[in-house]
């Protein structure tokens, strides 16, 4: 027996039946595509927020130009290690490192948690009375230790909290004046490169040696 051939009426009914289904499928596809695009955008926005939150602190001061741009003595390099180790890699602080080594304070500074260090640049030691410097170097456990620990605060201070009177590791009090990117310490020493980060300290490089 020959198969029944679809007539014109059947074809028209099929077209009317499948046309709504096709439209529904198209709408569902558009909705799913929009949802997928929305989900894809969300992680990108979160990533942008994280990058903003984790931005590196900004160093300030004309003296920062003397700090190496890369390597262990750079800002990024120093941020990875404790403060005495960081200073030993910085060519701006070689005289300070010599004094810290003579006083055997390297391990003490490296093991401290959350400190602030006012670090005299090489030029600060050059401007210092040389008889006083030689006397300090000749008395590493006495005068030299007293002078060096006067440069250390047992709390880690950001630039916003730096101004004010602070007790030093030596036991005396020093005063910091200023705000923003302009600070003086003990009235006559200026911060020439501030907000230098190490693993356990915030360092402010200064242009005069502080005397307790």
Pull the structure tokens for residue 57: 């602190």
At residue 57, the pLDDT reads 59
Q: Where are the domains of the chain?
A: 9-55, 62-206
Taking the C-alpha atoms of residue 116 and residue 151, their distance in angstroms, rounded to an integer, is 8
Pull the structure tokens for residue 122: 């090489």
Q: Are residues 147 and 210 in contact, defined by beta-carbon separation less than 8 angstroms?
A: yes
At residue 17, the pLDDT reads 45
pTM here is 0.74
Q: Are residues 191 and 61 in contact, defined by beta-carbon separation less than 8 angstroms?
A: yes
- 124 burial class (0-12, 13-18, 19+ CB within 10 angstroms)? buried
The overall average pLDDT reported for the chain is: 83
Paired strand residues for 204: 118
Tell me the CB-side half-sphere exposure of residue 109, using CA atoms within 13 A: 33
Q: Write the pLDDT tens digit of every residue in 52-77.
A: 334 445 899 999 999 999 999 999 99
At residue 19, the pLDDT reads 52
Q: Write the pLDDT tens digit of every residue in 33-47.
A: 454 444 444 444 444
Q: Are residues 208 and 189 in contact, defined by beta-carbon separation less than 8 angstroms?
A: yes
Paired strand residues for 39: none
Taking the C-alpha atoms of residue 5 and residue 138, their distance in angstroms, rounded to an integer, is 116
The class (CATH top level) of 62-206 is mainly beta
At residue 46, the pLDDT reads 44
Taking the C-alpha atoms of residue 32 and residue 39, their distance in angstroms, rounded to an integer, is 11
Q: Give me the residue label for tokens 């047992």.
A: 154
* Residue spans of the chain under pLDDT 70: 1-57
């Amino acid at each position: 027996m020959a198969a029944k051939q679809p007539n014109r009426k059947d074809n028209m009914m099929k077209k009317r039946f499948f046309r709504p289904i096709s439209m529904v499928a198209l709408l569902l596809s558009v909705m799913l595509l929009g949802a997928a695009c929305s989900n894809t955008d969300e992680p990108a926005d979160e990533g942008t927020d994280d990058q903003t939150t984790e931005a590196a602190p900004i160093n300030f001061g004309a003296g920062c130009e003397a700090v190496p741009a890369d390597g262990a003595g750079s800002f990024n390099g120093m941020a990875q290690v404790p403060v005495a180790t960081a200073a030993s890699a910085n060519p701006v602080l070689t005289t300070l490192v010599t004094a810290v080594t003579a006083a055997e304070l390297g391990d003490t500074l490296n093991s401290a948690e959350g400190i602030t260090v006012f670090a005299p640049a090489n030029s600060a030691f050059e401007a210092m009375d040389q008889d006083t410097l030689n006397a300090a170097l000749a008395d590493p456990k006495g005068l030299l230790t007293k002078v060096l620990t006067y440069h250390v605060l047992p709390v880690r201070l950001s630039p916003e909290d730096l101004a004010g009177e602070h007790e030093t590791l030596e036991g005396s009090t020093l005063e910091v004046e200023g705000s923003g990117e302009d600070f003086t310490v003990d009235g006559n020493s200026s911060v020439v490169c501030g907000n230098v980060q190490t693993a356990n300290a915030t360092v402010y490089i200064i242009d005069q040696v502080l005397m307790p």
